[in-house]
């Protein structure tokens, strides 16, 4: 099973939103300037977004560490069949 490009984009945008906020706050704490912190965060978000998408797409092609559909490695039951 692999993610669709739209799912990858949604994951990327939510992750980058969190990163943008945290990097702005870190940049503000270090520089004392919201503008400088925001600039650092925007550059980091742009680079990080491209790297994340490429990373996800490359790993989607790697078969290592995946199990076949329907198989249960390590005898772990699916979450839906566990009792509460």
pLDDT digits 0-9 by tens, 19-78: 889 999 999 999 999 999 999 999 988 898 899 899 999 999 999 898 876 665 555 555
The answer to whether the beta carbons of residues 66 and 44 sit under 8 Å apart is: no
Is 0.85 topped by the overall pTM?
no
Inform me whether the pLDDT recorded for 84 exceeds 80.
Answer: no
Residue 82 located in a structural domain: no
Inform me whether the pLDDT recorded for 83 exceeds 60.
Answer: no
Range of the domain at 51: 5-63
Residue 19 located in a structural domain: yes
Angle separating helix axes 34-60 and 5-31, nearest 10 degrees? 150
């Amino acid at each position: 099973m692999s993610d669709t490009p739209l799912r990858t984009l949604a994951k990327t945008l939510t992750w980058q939103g969190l990163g943008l906020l945290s990097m702005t706050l870190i940049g503000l704490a270090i520089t004392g300037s919201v503008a400088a912190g925001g600039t650092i965060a925007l550059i980091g978000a742009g680079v990080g977004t491209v790297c994340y998408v490429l990373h996800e797409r490359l790993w989607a092609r790697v078969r290592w560490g995946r199990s076949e559909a329907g198989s249960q490695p390590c005898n772990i039951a699916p979450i839906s069949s566990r009792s509460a």
